Structure 1
């Protein structure tokens, strides 16, 4: 299974949190990553998005076919996210568009085995795969893409 974590692009400050919109810069960030994803995406990609406006605006640069998943909301944790994705036993690939700190904690868990406060930059994409070698399940970091580098 492939698991792609895409942090929402830059958004305006304010409340209520779930209705914050992307800034002009945020729209540009989303378009850059969306273009990269369009060229490099895995087959059979399922797109799961937080209920927040800024995540829906981020993913709209890539696709209009996505599922809004409450487990990706800003206040949810790593176990909630993993349960929604089926990682690592699931098939195909899942693109998750979500928030800090939960995406950073998920990345830390996948690579180090423990939830730690890692930061994923706004608009950045982290791509993980899993494989079995010698009977052991391994997590592989395939790519880390920042919109500033595209």
Structure 2
């Protein structure tokens, strides 16, 4: 690939979107069967719809939505796409390496990528992908990090495009 062709490649957009508020599941542990079946609350459905509306108005198409297998993440993702791709590498107890492998394997000419997953790994992975800094980064429920990867003559550059939570979007 030449330097000219690198600079002509389209920007690659990645959104790291935390699932919206879910029902409590007393006595469950993160990633167990009871935890994976938790549904969104009424507020969670409202927030997911609001953030999905914002994403639809801002993110260039085409996009692919990939969700954790947990019910709350799938329900959040379905506000953006009726049939999100389900990937176990986004499950609640996944590692940062597993989650980032989803991003690294995604074809750069495939449009934008929206990952719907869980804290604490989603925020940490998003921060790491953008900056290379391995630190905790907390995303509020239904909050997101939107990053853009650009190919430039000097190499790959990544930048933060937006960090949004539902309370910033108003009613």
Q: What is the rounded CA distance, in whole Å, between the counterparts of 1:13 and 1:122 in structure 2?
A: 14
Select 1:123's aligned residue among 138, 142, 153.
142
Aligned counterpart, 1:5: 16
If the length of structure 1 is used for normalisation, what is the TM-score?
0.92
Task: Say which SS state the counterpart of residue 163 (structure 2) adopts.
Answer: strand
**Gaps spanning 5+ residues in structure 2: where?**
1-11, 29-33
RMSD between aligned residues? 1.6
**Gaps spanning 5+ residues in structure 1: where?**
none
Offset at residue 87 of structure 1 (A): 6.2
Aligned counterpart, 2:76: 58
Offset at residue 89 of structure 1 (A): 6.5
* Structure (1 or 2) with the larger CA radius of gyration: 2
127-136 or 32-41: which moved more?
A: 127-136
Aligned counterpart, 2:6: none
Q: What is the rounded CA distance, in whole Å, between the counterparts of 2:81 and 2:138 in structure 1?
A: 25
Q: What is the rounded CA distance, in whole Å, between the counterparts of 2:47 and 2:76 in structure 1?
A: 8
Moved over 3 A (4+): none
Contact persistence 1:8–1:98 (CA under 8 A): yes
- Render the CA deviation track for 1:47-93: whole Å, top value 9, x for unaligned: 10000000011112222021000000011112111212226862321
Is residue 2:160 matched to residue 1:141?
yes
Contact persistence 1:108–1:116 (CA under 8 A): yes
Q: How many residues align structurally? A: 150
Is residue 2:67 matched to residue 1:49?
yes
Contact persistence 2:16–2:123 (CA under 8 A): no
125-134 or 85-94: which moved more?
A: 85-94
| Matching of residues 1-150 of structure 1 within 5 Å | 1-14=12-25, 15=28, 16-86=34-104, 90-91=108-109, 92-150=111-169
